[in-house]
Amino acid sequence: MKKIFITITGCNHYMGYGVFRRKMELVLKKEPDNEYDHEAIRVELPGIGKVGYVANSNHTVLGDTCSAGRIYDKIGKKAHAKVELITDRGVVARVKG
């Protein structure tokens, strides 16, 4: 699989961006029953739970990272990612696999 980078956003609705550290392992889980976005992919920290979502709007996707819609069919029900960059607008992570 080609390297896929994503933006994690919405973190202020959960634990904020301060919880993230570079090289931190994340779990991505599809939420097909999400009432706001049928391509929603939530982001979880093992042992903590939901900390945000994979960005799925051109207003929230940073740079050339992929939106949830672009990776939705490329991952299974669950995938893993690693934090690469932390900014005040979002977290950039690389999807593993």
Question: Which range has the worst mean pLDDT, 34-43, 61-70, 88-97?
Answer: 88-97
Residue 89: predicted pLDDT: 81
The one-letter code for the residue type at 52 is G
* Average pLDDT of the residues of the chain: 93
Residue 87: predicted pLDDT: 87
Task: Check whether 97 has a pLDDT greater than 80.
Answer: no
Instruction: Give per-residue pLDDT as tens, 49-82.
Output: 999 999 999 899 999 999 999 999 999 999 999 9
Task: Check whether 20 has a pLDDT greater than 90.
Answer: yes
| Percent helix / strand / coil, the chain, rounded to 5 | 15, 40, 45
